[in-house]
Amino acid sequence: MKKLETYIDYRQFLLDTYLERKKRSKSYSYRTFNQSAGIKSPSLYKEVVEGKRNLTPETAAAFAKGLRLTARETHFFKTLVRFNQAQTEKEKLTCLEILRGFKPFVKQTIIPFQFYEYYSKWHHSVVREVACTFNFKDDYLKLAHALRPHITKRQARESMELLLRLGFLKKNKEGSYTQTNPSITTGAEVISPAVRALNREYAAMGKDAIDGYSPEKRDISTLVLGVSKESMEKIKQEIREFKHRLFEIVNEDPDTDRVYALNTQFFPLSDTFPLKPDGFSTESVPRPSDKSLQNNMNHFLSSGGQS
């Protein structure tokens, strides 16, 4: 059976543990566990595994006792329970920081939480690109100063160590680096909080780029649109296809000489309004004429949509 530290779902761990112990001893049952854990409810274990009930701090401690976990394992288990049941992103991130500090005792195994570290800082993905763009000859200060904004020499070195350890980069015989694509099996539950935090960092950097770079070096524009639910889904699909086309463009370009970030943001700016049978909002809202809309679009296109 896998080590506890390799799990990202405590319910899966409980199920696997029960099945393993049942396999070893046919007499093992939920009742056997309840007696060792001091739990009165005969169906609690089963209901928790099935997701029908959550564990409280008290019952989590009782489960750890019934599972005969060590002090270290108990700490991990209780934190994992908090993480899986967290109601806020802030609490999830707090738990992740604790969980990724645990190291598995299984050789050559990268626990899912280690991938969280890659997504937790904006510069890791940038370093991965920059390291393959020019040969910095392991001069980490030179690498650090190649990023905008600059990072420290220590951050550059630690980022390279992380990328090599996780298999995102491979060092060639001549000293240059090549990107590799490790298999990331981490579920969305682990990755999503880190990616959301990363998106906030890139969004803030995009705001700084408005004044930090001239229009010749960046493209920043905004469209405000009235959409239906159907249009929203079509636009999201267009964005996905657009990003796919961008990947095709850069993959066919052998002369990379700079790293860019592309932020795509598409979000609501109003409530959803109830519609009358004729399709119009129950609010009496003046609708712009087709000519007015065309004039606005012509202005947007002629200015390049930039500021």
Token reading at 204: 């803030």
Mind listing the pLDDT tens digit of every residue in the chain (307 residues)? 788 988 888 999 999 999 999 999 999 998 899 999 999 998 999 999 999 999 999 999 999 999 999 999 999 999 999 999 998 878 888 888 888 777 543 333 345 666 777 888 899 999 999 999 888 999 999 999 999 999 999 999 999 999 998 889 999 999 999 998 764 444 556 667 777 878 888 999 999 999 999 999 999 999 999 999 999 999 999 999 998 899 889 888 888 899 999 999 999 999 888 766 655 554 444 555 555 555 555 444 444 445 5
Question: pTM for the full model?
Answer: 0.60
C-alpha dist (Å) from residue 150 to 158, 163, 188, 211, 279: 15, 18, 30, 17, 52
C-alpha dist (Å) from residue 141 to 21, 73, 144, 186, 271: 53, 40, 5, 32, 49
For each of the domains in the chain, give its residue range(s) and CATH number, in order of start: 4-87 (1.10.260)
For residue 8, count other CB atoms closer than 10 A to its CB.
Answer: 20
What's the CA gap between 27 and 112, in Å, rounded?
34
What's the CA gap between 154 and 137, in Å, rounded?
16
